Structure 1
Amino acid sequence: MAWNREPGGSMNESDVERVQVSCRIRNRLYRDGVLAGTDLPVEELAEHRSDERALIWLDLLAPSVSDIVALSPLIGGEVELHPLAVEGAISGRQRPRLVRFRDHSLLHARAVRFDPSTEVLAATGLSVFILARALIAIRADDEFPLEPILADWDDNPDLATYGVGFLLHTVLDTMVDGYFTAIDQLDDQIQALEDDLLVGAGPKNAVQLRSFTLRKAVAQLGRAVLPMNEAFSALLRQGAHVLETEMVPYYQDVYDHALRATERIDGLRDTIESILATHLAMQGNSLNEIMKKLTAWAAIIAIPTGVTGYFGQNIPFPGFGQQSGFWFSAAMIVVLASGLWWNFRRRNWL
């Protein structure tokens, strides 16, 4: 992962002109805390890479390794991105965490979204290179929108003087807000499932299938949110890269929101487990009722079987061979069966 540099580590003009990338790029340039340009050509960004007063944000949509290698010297200046960091950012299979290197850091995260119509949770892999004067965001797809981030930067221009910490905070805050949106939607679906369970609407196995589907979505959400608490803690730790003291309260606020999201996820998980346990208990009770009814009817049917078996004996008995014997056995069947039915009915077995 090398690029052509002149002796001394700087990149010559011919290298800048030869940079070609295949991914979609969005960028911003701040100078002295003031927005100086938006979506500039890569070559123009390269002119500011060594400017101590410049702050660069670059967003790459599903880039290749060659794209990152080509762009990193332009916006990173003398910083060379670690090969393991580049490999991890491209793979998209990293768990959310913060990885520190000598002169830069790499944050892996997942932005989530929930589709109430299909009850499926989807995630967008997000890798962020944190440099002293640049922030490189790599998105796996465009389902994680940039518009709220850009709008927040425009609404808070006074924070731009705090450098990369300002840019990173908005990205993380928007991502955590997405966690709460997904949690609220999941909560609505779980509450609707709970109502269906109590009123007995729909097929009985539908409740169990939806419970498993929602539990899977909650588990996926937990795998995206829970590790972020450790990443936020690492960002707030002493010695973190590019985190100004003035930005610490903002990061603590996002950290608190992430902790609250974790607590709500635990609550959703407990609710789903409670729904499953209640559903199984209700199925058990229903099975008991069915068994009671089957037992009662089996006892009732056993009466005519017993009576007819008695009168079918090949020995003399009262009414044997006479018409009165038939009516006597029939009356006995009706009376005994009716009495047993009434007794079961009184006990709510039937």
Structure 2
Amino acid sequence: MSDTTQQQDDRAAAPVPDVRVNCRHRSRLYRRGVLVASDLPLRELADRGADPDALVWVDLLAPTLSDLTALAPLVGGELELHPLAVENAVSGSQRPRLVRYRDHSLLHARAVHLDPADGTLASTRVAAFILDRALITIRSDDGFPLEPLLAQWDDIGGLTERGVGFLVHSLLDQLVDGYFEVLDDLDDRIQDLEDELLEGTGPTRDIQLRSFSLRKDVVRLSRVVLPMNEALSALLRPGAHALYADIVPYYQDVYDHALRATERIDGLRDTIESILSTSLAMQGNSLNEIMKKLTAWAAIIAIPTGVTGYFGQNIPFPGYGESWGFWLSAVMLVGLAAGLWFGFRRRGWL
């Protein structure tokens, strides 16, 4: 018997310490590409995951540093998660990237979605420890649901016997598909805004405010998608992880989708800038038309005003010398001024 085989037998025979975490968690156990069990107690999962043919997945929802430290039995006796990796996994300031350590990798990513309450863009931090026979995912909240991911793992079936790389591919595929869902929604909102601008059915100020809001969402989305391209590119580099060679086309497909998302972001940004510039141009043209009308009426009124002022005409009016005449003239002045104000306001001149 070789030393390596003897060490594996010793680890399998050694008692597995208790594994306790205080956060919500889910798990799966595969053996030779077949789903064996789901949502096992972590101690039993660590025990059964010691089989060299087993593949383990664990998901933690908003874990603490102590929760991640308690997962040591799941990753094997000889392998220890790097302290910096554990600390960064629970940190909320990490940008999407791939960090490689000696025996494992840590993938930082972000899932994006639209808040159903107000339609604003929201993101969920997703981290993944990529090991030879285990995948540990960490989510900051429920904004990234697990059901579509688990359904895709069920669809790939026997491909899971090729290793953890196919599980990672499905995770990345779900993240990138979420980007396109947000892009489609932003695209529809931008098209609606463009139609309102061209048809003149919406107030100019409201269109400009919505344009700024959409541009802010597009910028926030670009801060997620662009670094994700770098992480996917790092996964495609030779020697990034101990995976089968036939996994590379799957990662290349996800990388191509991420590049398409980047191109669509650039297109949306250009469209928003075009809407803003068109809105300003139309507002300037409208202002010029208003100024021409006001100038014409001012010229018409200036002629009789100048004539009567030059000759000092002071024609008695109804109620001249009476108190009610004073109030009548005051009401007429205020009423005419208010009528002009409402008329200008209705036409959008004020």
The TM tier, using the shorter chain, reads 0.7 to 0.9
The residue correspondences of 1:53-64 to structure 2 (distance < 5 A) are 53-64=53-64
Q: What stretches of structure 2 of length at least 5 have no aligned partner?
A: 1-9, 314-350
2:308 alignment counterpart:
308
TM-score of the superposed pair, with normalisation by structure 2:
0.83
1:253 alignment counterpart:
253
The residue correspondences of 1:43-122 to structure 2 (distance < 5 A) are 43-115=43-115, 118-122=118-122
Paired amino acid for 1:109: A
1:346 alignment counterpart:
none
- Residue 289, structure 1, aligned to residue 275, structure 2: no
Question: In structure 2, how many angstroms separate the alpha carbons of the residues matched to 1:117 and 1:173?
Answer: 26
Question: In structure 1, how many angstroms separate the alpha carbons of the residues matched to 2:83 and 2:75?
Answer: 17
Question: In structure 2, how many angstroms separate the alpha carbons of the residues matched to 1:116 and 1:191?
Answer: 20
Paired amino acid for 2:235: L
Cα distance, 1:310 vs structure 2: 3.8
1:298 alignment counterpart:
298
Per mean C-alpha deviation after superposition, the further-off stretch among 70-79 and 104-113 is: 70-79
Paired amino acid for 1:286: S
1:316 alignment counterpart:
none
SS of aligned partner of 1:106: strand
Rg (Cα) greater in structure = 1
Per mean C-alpha deviation after superposition, the further-off stretch among 169-178 and 49-58 is: 49-58
Paired amino acid for 1:119: G
The residue correspondences of 1:1-350 to structure 2 (distance < 5 A) are 16-17=17-18, 19-115=19-115, 118-312=118-312
Paired amino acid for 2:280: L
Shift of the 30–209 alpha-carbon distance from structure 1 to 2, 3 Å rule, reads same
Cα distance, 1:278 vs structure 2: 0.8
Question: In structure 2, how many angstroms separate the alpha carbons of the residues matched to 1:217 and 1:182?
Answer: 10
Per mean C-alpha deviation after superposition, the further-off stretch among 212-221 and 67-76 is: 67-76
Say whether the 8 Å CA contact 1:119–1:217 is kept in structure 2: no
SS of aligned partner of 1:60: strand
SS of aligned partner of 1:252: helix
Question: In structure 2, how many angstroms separate the alpha carbons of the residues matched to 1:47 and 1:184?
Answer: 45
Q: What stretches of structure 1 of length at least 5 have no aligned partner?
A: 1-8, 314-350
Per mean C-alpha deviation after superposition, the further-off stretch among 102-111 and 65-74 is: 65-74
Cα distance, 1:233 vs structure 2: 0.6
Question: In structure 1, how many angstroms separate the alpha carbons of the residues matched to 2:115 and 2:126?
Answer: 20
Cα distance, 1:76 vs structure 2: 4.2
Cα distance, 1:13 vs structure 2: 6.8
Say whether the 8 Å CA contact 2:197–2:207 is kept in structure 1: yes
Give CA-to-partner distance per residue, 1:237-287, whole Å, 9 cap, x none: 000113321111111101100000110011011111111111111111111
Say whether the 8 Å CA contact 1:95–1:109 is kept in structure 2: yes
Shift of the 12–63 alpha-carbon distance from structure 1 to 2, 3 Å rule, reads farther
Give CA-to-partner distance per residue, 1:117-145, whole Å, 9 cap, x none: 62310001000011111100000011211
SS of aligned partner of 1:40: coil
Question: In structure 2, how many angstroms separate the alpha carbons of the residues matched to 1:141 and 1:150?
Answer: 17
Say whether the 8 Å CA contact 1:50–1:77 is kept in structure 2: no
Say whether the 8 Å CA contact 2:16–2:46 is kept in structure 1: no
Per mean C-alpha deviation after superposition, the further-off stretch among 171-180 and 304-313 is: 304-313
Say whether the 8 Å CA contact 1:116–1:185 is kept in structure 2: no
Cα distance, 1:30 vs structure 2: 1.0
Paired amino acid for 1:238: P
Paired amino acid for 1:282: M
Say whether the 8 Å CA contact 1:45–1:75 is kept in structure 2: no
- Structure 1 stretches of 4+ with a deviation exceeding 3 A read 9-15, 309-313
